[in-house]
Amino acid sequence: MDTPGLADVIRYVDPDPAAPTAVLTFDDGPNPPDTVTLLDLLAREQVTAVFCLVGQQVEAHPDVVRRIVADGHVLANHSFRHDNLSQLTPDAVRADLTRTLDAIHAVVPDAPVPFFRAPFGHYGHAIVVAAELGMRTLDWQLAVEDWVPPGVDELVRRLGGVEPGGVVLLHDGGGDRSQTVAAVARLIPRLRGEGWAFTVPR
Ligand SMILES: [Zn+2]
């Protein structure tokens, strides 16, 4: 395999304007209660998503990680404590991502972790190291700055920028993410009403 680089990060999954899909990804958790509220919503709506887990959050909330996996969602490694990995040597990146994988597998031993998402979207050596550890790098087509957060109406407006196949960056962790959950609750029926479906990379 050629060495993977920025051209290989995933921003779209099977884009098809005739049958548009969106990929919902949630970073920085698990983070109850917002993650639990979100899981309830996704279960009700029968939407599968990607959860990009932070290792120390996994250790703090293992029960929520078990629920994420039991509900059929896809996992990504989002580093152990959300450091900027672009500042680190390859060995240090490997240590961080391995520690995070170990934390996840201590809770859900059989769950695959096929993806890596870089904290802050900063890469350095992380794309290559993630690939060596069996993970493809998941970037995004649309970010809506829900980490601010700007209000539910504004989030829903910004989410209108999703393109067919687009990977949407959202956050269930890192602070109070109730606005994100409320915006997703409005986004799902709206997109479905316009003929969209939801998918995940595999
Ligand atoms: Zn993050």
Residue spans of the domains in the chain: they are: 6-198
DSSP 10: B
Judge contact between 45 and 188, C-beta under 8 A. Answer: yes
Judge contact between 65 and 108, C-beta under 8 A. Answer: yes
- Distance between Cα 18 and ligand 1 center (Å): 32
Give 6-198's CATH code, choosing from 3.20.20.370, 3.60.20.10, 3.30.360.10, 1.25.10.10: 3.20.20.370
Q: What is the band of 1 on the pLDDT scale with cuts at 50, 70, 90?
A: low
Q: Which two tokens stand for residue 36?
A: 């639990």
171, pLDDT greater than 90: yes
Whether residue 171 lies in the annotated active site: yes
Point out the catalytic residue in the list 61, 73, 78, 171. Answer: 171
- Distance between Cα 186 and ligand 1 center (Å): 23
Q: Which has more confidence, 3 or 90?
A: 90
110, pLDDT greater than 60: yes
pLDDT given at position 2: 73
- Distance between Cα 28 and ligand 1 center (Å): 5
Crossing angle for the helix pair 178-193 and 34-45, nearest 10 degrees? 10
- Distance between Cα 100 and ligand 1 center (Å): 14
Phi, psi of 53 (to 5 degrees): -90, 140
- Dump pLDDT digits (tens) for 24-38: 999 999 999 999 999
- Dump pLDDT digits (tens) for 114-169: 999 999 999 999 999 999 999 999 999 999 999 999 999 999 999 999 999 999 99
Under 8 Å CB-to-CB from 189, ≥6 apart: which residues?
A: 45
